[in-house]
């Protein structure tokens, strides 16, 4: 660990162990901002604090909060960046004094992030957990406690398909993404066209899942009318071999697998990149020793490559599983709003749109709960690596 406490600078802030009035004041301000956001997250207050679109404003205020023209939008964009840089600069300028207590200096450096994360993420998560135990009417108004009924709702028979699909998603996507990624990474490793070949597989990572859904739309396109030419590749292939075309994204369980394939198509690039780096990290000595022993091809892959990269494989599997759990874009765009295609993350979005904050909150908490073991695992790993 790097400990710079012997450095001269820390002597100046030796007074920090005592509570100075300034220290208390600065941290009180930070606490007050967090408290304000917490208060405003509880329920609609009716009177907007910063900008009320119902009343008249000067053109400047209107522009800052509700830009309409191209010029206004661009001006506001630069305004936002400038304001942030300015505030950060001011904070730095204010704390960079010889006699500033360390806790004030600290407030300057981590205060903004603490406000954002404590009120925006941490409290929001707690708030959502609370909401998941509340009842909401059809206008989204809180009408008291619901106890466990929101969670019970998720596990009713109406949502069975959704739950099964979610489980299928978080197992099938990681397994196949990792499999394809691993095979491809090994096959193109150290070949002449490695970089280009990898880019081809990697490109789906760079585009949005909405765009990916549009792309795959022309693979799964619904059957053309009798006698007409097929629009979707898959149906064209099927009819070419004499089969009858299928409406892929509307039948259960084919629809779920059709959507899963899109996710595999996207995540394989991620798996390939991480695994490829891991393969290249296998020490030369091990490979040479194996080569001297006569290992090559499949034997090399099975006895050397796979055992060496096993930790990375586990990491990739968990990363892709979490991504699959949280993804809603593909189902939202391609799922035709069919309950039979649904997954938990999309159900969350649907309930949120219907102002059913209780159900949506329970769904969000459920997603969170599934991720928790991974968080625990990650923290353990980090602790281990810090000890070393």
Partner 1 sequence: MSTSTSTSPEGSARPTTDTRTVKVQLRAQEAKTKLSSPWASLIAVVIAVLWTIPTFGLLINSTRGEPAPTTSGWWHFWGGGTGFTLGNYVSAWNGNGGTPLWQYILNSVVITLPAVVIPITLALLAAYAFAWVDFRGRNILFIAVFVMQVIPIQVALIPLNTVYVNFGLAGSFWSIWFSHTIFGLPLAIFLLHNFMKEIPPSLVEAARVDGAGHVKIFTRVLLPLLVPAIAAFGIFQFLWVWNDLLVALTFSGDNTRPITAGIQQLTTQFGAQGNILPAAAILAMVVPLGVFLALQRFFVRGLLAGSVKG
> Which residues 37-76 are close enough to bind partner 1 by CB under 8 A?
37, 40-45, 48-53, 65-68, 70, 73-74, 76
Burial 223-258 (b: 16+ CB within 10 A, else e): beeeeeebebebbeebeeeeeebbebbbeeebbbeb
**From 33-41, 154-162, 243-251, 303-311, span contacting partner 1 (CB under 8 A):** 33-41
Q: Of 293-352, which residues contact partner 1 (CB under 8 A)?
A: 294, 296-297, 319, 322-323, 325-326, 328-329, 332-333, 345, 348-349, 352
**Token representation of residue 36:** 């304000």
Looking only at the bridges linking them, the beta strands covering 134-136 and 142-145 are antiparallel
Q: Of 367-386, which residues contact partner 1 (CB under 8 A)?
A: 367-368, 371, 374-375, 378-379, 382
CB of 300 to partner 1, least distance (A): 9
Q: Of 84-113, which residues contact partner 1 (CB under 8 A)?
A: 84-85, 88, 91-93, 95-96, 98, 102-103, 105-106, 108-110, 112-113
Nearer to partner 1, 161 or 216 (CB): 216
Q: Of 201-220, which residues contact partner 1 (CB under 8 A)?
A: 201-211, 213-219
Q: Of 140-179, which residues contact partner 1 (CB under 8 A)?
A: none
Q: Which helix (H) or strand (E) holds 254?
A: helix 254-280
Phi, psi of 157 (to 5 degrees): -65, -25
Phi, psi of 135 (to 5 degrees): -105, 140
Phi-psi group of 336: left, alpha or beta (phi > 0 → left; psi -120 to 50 → alpha; rest → beta): left
Contact (CB, 8 A) for 76 and 63: yes
DSSP secondary structure letter of residue 151: H
**From 121-129, 150-158, 159-167, 250-258, span contacting partner 1 (CB under 8 A):** 121-129
Q: Where are the beta strands (DSSP E) in the chain?
A: 134-136, 142-145
CB of 222 to partner 1, least distance (A): 10
- Asked if residue 229 binds partner 1 (CB under 8 A), the reply is yes
């Amino acid at each position: 660990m790097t400990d710079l406490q012997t450095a001269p600078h820390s002597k100046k802030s030796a007074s920090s162990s005592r509570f100075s009035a300034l220290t208390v004041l600065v941290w009180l301000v930070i606490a007050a901002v967090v408290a304000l956001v917490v208060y405003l997250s509880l329920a609609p207050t009716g009177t907007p604090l910063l900008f009320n679109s119902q009343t008249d404003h000067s053109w400047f205020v209107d522009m800052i909060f509700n830009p309409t023209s191209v010029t206004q939008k661009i001006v506001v964009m630069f305004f936002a960046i400038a304001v942030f840089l300015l505030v950060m600069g001011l904070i730095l300028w204010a704390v960079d004094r010889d006699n500033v207590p360390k806790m004030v200096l600290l407030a300057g450096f981590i205060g903004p992030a603490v406000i954002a994360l404590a009120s925006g993420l941490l409290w929001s998560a707690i708030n959502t957990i609370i909401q998941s135990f509340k009842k909401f009417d059809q206008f989204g108004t809180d009408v008291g406690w619901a106890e466990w009924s929101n969670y019970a709702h998720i596990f009713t028979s109406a949502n069975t398909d959704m739950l099964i699909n979610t489980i299928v998603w978080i197992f099938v996507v990681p397994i196949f993404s990792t499999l394809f990624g691993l095979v491809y990474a090994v096959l193109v490793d150290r070949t002449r066209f490695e970089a280009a070949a990898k880019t081809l597989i990697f490109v789906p990572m760079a585009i949005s899942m909405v765009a990916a859904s549009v792309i795959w739309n022309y693979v799964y396109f619904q059957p053309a009318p009798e006698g007409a030419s097929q629009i979707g590749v898959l149906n064209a292939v099927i009819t070419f071999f004499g089969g009858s075309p299928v409406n892929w994204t509307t039948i259960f369980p084919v629809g779920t697998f059709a959507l899963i394939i899109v996710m595999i198509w996207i995540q394989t690039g991620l798996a390939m990149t991480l695994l490829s780096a891991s393969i290249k990290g296998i020490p030369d000595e091990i490979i040479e020793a194996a080569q001297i022993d006569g290992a090559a091809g499949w034997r090399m892959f099975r006895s050397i490559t796979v055992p060496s990269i096993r930790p990375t494989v586990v990491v990739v599997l968990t990363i892709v599983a979490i991504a699959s759990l949280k993804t809603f874009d593909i189902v939202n765009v391609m799922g035709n709003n069919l309950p039979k295609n649904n997954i938990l993350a999309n159900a969350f979005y649907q309930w949120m749109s219907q102002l059913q904050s209780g159900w949506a909150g329970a769904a969000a908490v459920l997603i969170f709960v599934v991720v928790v073991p991974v968080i625990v695992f990650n923290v353990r790993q980090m602790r281990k690596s810090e000890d070393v």
